[in-house]
Amino acid sequence: MQLKTILNRCHKFKSFVYDQARFVGEAIEVTVLPRANAKAMCSHCAEPAPVYDHLAERRFEFIPIWGYRVFFLYRMRRVDCRDCGVKVERVPWARGKRELTDTYQQFLAHWAEKLSWLEVARSFRTSWEKVFQAVEFVVQWGLEHRDLSQVTALGVDEIAWRHGHNYLTLVDQIDADNTRLLWIGKDRTMKTLLRFFHFFGEQRSLKLQYVCSDMWKPYLKVIKKKAANALNILDRFHIVAKLNKAIDEVRAGEHRQLQKDGYEPVLKNSRWCLLKRKENLTEKQEAKLKDLLQYNLKSVRAYLLKEDFDGFWGYVSAAWAGKFLDRWCTRVMRSKIEPMKKVAKTMRAHKPLILNWFKAKKALSKALSSGVVEGLNNKAKVTTRNSYGFRTYRGAEIALYHALGNLPKPPMAHRFC
Ligand SMILES: [Zn+2]
């Protein structure tokens, strides 16, 4: 069987034919010729046009086979288009000045869902930049072809980026039947979120029923203004994160104080015992926690306050939950633990928004109970953590859309992977 036969089976084009295939060093080169009676097409308007002249031969990289890189060789023609003038012709296997064929780009992008970009580059003996280009191509196609008409619930979130000095704002769709990353923006300012709503459009924004967010003021303001018909909900995950941050602050301060005063360092290695959910503790951490709870420490009291707050989410009625919240805040304010008091103050100030959680619970039960926002946030962190390669904003943006955007893919006549 010839290579030509295989190519004609999996990668055939109406107006072009495969000619000879041969080894050149460790690569296979396949010559492509235009079919005798087929017309060339203008790359600008996609209409057929008479041939003007021929350009020098170009190489297009295709999927490697059995460890050999594969290239198509083709002399691009220029056409004299009635509407556009003299233009390079359009070829169906690649676009613009790209060296990689569309199919090879989809192939690389497919593997980039499973491996890091560097691993993909090494596995297929190509460069990191080529993998980036490939993923960018597929993401771009997906963004242009995705359907945004059925979005009714949004989650607004942020992640630290580049060693925590910068933030990215992430907007997710959190509808029961579709959860995906919709949009990424630099920083976490009012302007950032305004840019999202500008992109999303007024009509779609007014159709939004729920927007789930953090207590971050710039976000709250913009959501109120732009998603006027939506119920703004403060996500459980964000509230727990705030409590955890306060506990961490208390623990770190107290640990330092104990050491300074020459006490036994009981809080050493206690960080995760106090922050993790009980059911996620390792045996060792559980023993440590049990031990800690015997001490009368600020950290322990802060931890117990956080644990108590968990009862809040079990309420069915917003009114009763509101009473619980009041009682809890009063206790925290009496605790004399400053970082916790700060959280309680913020929560008091946002009580109506926090109670919206109970109004949305039914409609968004899946998203709110299974922690969709939290899940997407964690995946986003993992995606950006391998920061080498994502030093540029564009790199991080493309990687995040690729991993979390649930984007449609360009159609392929044959499944190569
Ligand atoms: Zn044209």
pLDDT (0 to 100) of residue 176: 82
Per-residue exposure over 339-350, b if at least 16 CB sit within 10 Å of its own CB, e if not: bbbebbeebeeb
CA of 80 to the centre of ligand 1 (A): 8
Give the pLDDT confidence of 370-395 residue by residue, as tens digits: 677 778 888 888 887 764 556 788 88
pLDDT (0 to 100) of residue 281: 84
Instruction: Report, in this order, helix, strand and coil percent for the chain, each rounded to 5.
Output: 50, 20, 30
CA of 16 to the centre of ligand 1 (A): 20
Give the pLDDT confidence of 172-203 residue by residue, as tens digits: 999 888 899 999 999 999 999 999 999 999 99
Give dist(CA 412, CA 314) in Å, integer.
Answer: 48
CA of 77 to the centre of ligand 1 (A): 13
CA of 392 to the centre of ligand 1 (A): 36
CA of 50 to the centre of ligand 1 (A): 11
CA of 37 to the centre of ligand 1 (A): 20
Burial tier of 273 (Cβ tally within 10 Å: 0-12, 13-18, 19+): buried
Query: The pTM is what?
Result: 0.83
pLDDT (0 to 100) of residue 162: 75
Give dist(CA 34, CA 115) in Å, integer.
Answer: 37
Give dist(CA 328, CA 350) in Å, integer.
Answer: 14
CA 157 to chain centre: 11
Six-digit token string for 113: 């869902």
Look up residue 142 and give its amino acid: G
**Which residue has tokens 């809040």?**
312
pLDDT (0 to 100) of residue 387: 47
CA of 40 to the centre of ligand 1 (A): 11
